[in-house]
């Protein structure tokens, strides 16, 4: 019984110290793809980001947003040419984990508790 308890304790210690990779600065600029399901169909959005501007291309339309970095892993997107009240609301994005090909993120409207998650892949 003591051996099992010792093994479980060591396992807990080593797994609780694990931190996911977060090399967020690698993703401040570049071209990326985001895939999601809309009305049961897979939709792909491609966006290009430099340090302060993000240009999103989706279904033949282009949108430009300002990017304000809060820290290396969080930023606020604000649509520069909103066409509706919903597009006027800024979006808070937090990069949760990274790998060499992309990152997992959490996003939501600033001031609202509802959050969603997504995965972005680097194109270039």
pLDDT tens readout for residues 79-105? 999 999 988 999 999 999 999 999 999
Residue 4 lies in a domain: no
- pTM value is 0.79
Residue 10 lies in a domain: no
Segment holding 97, helix H or strand E: strand 91-99
- The tokens describing 118, both together, are 């997504």
Residue 3 lies in a domain: no
pLDDT of residue 54: 96
Residue 37 lies in a domain: yes
Contact between 39 and 30 under an 8 Å Cβ cutoff? The reply is no
What is the C-alpha to C-alpha distance for residues 30 and 51, in angstroms, rounded to an integer? 9
CATH number at 40 reads: 2.40.128
Residue 8 pLDDT exceeds 70? no
User: Total domain count for the chain?
Assistant: 1
């Amino acid at each position: 019984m003591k051996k099992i308890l010792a093994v479980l304790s060591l396992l807990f210690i080593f797994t609780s110290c694990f931190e996911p990779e977060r090399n967020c600065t690698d993703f401040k600029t570049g071209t990326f793809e985001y895939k999601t399901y809309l009305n049961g169909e897979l939709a792909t959005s491609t966006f290009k980001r430099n340090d302060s501007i993000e240009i999103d291309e989706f279904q033949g339309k282009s949108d430009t947003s300002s990017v304000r970095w809060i820290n290396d892993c969080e930023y606020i997107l604000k649509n520069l040419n909103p066409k509706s009240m919903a597009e006027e609301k800024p979006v808070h994005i937090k990069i949760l984990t990274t790998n060499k090909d992309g990152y997992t993120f959490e996003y939501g409207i600033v001031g609202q508790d509802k959050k969603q998650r997504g995965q972005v892949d680097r194109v270039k």
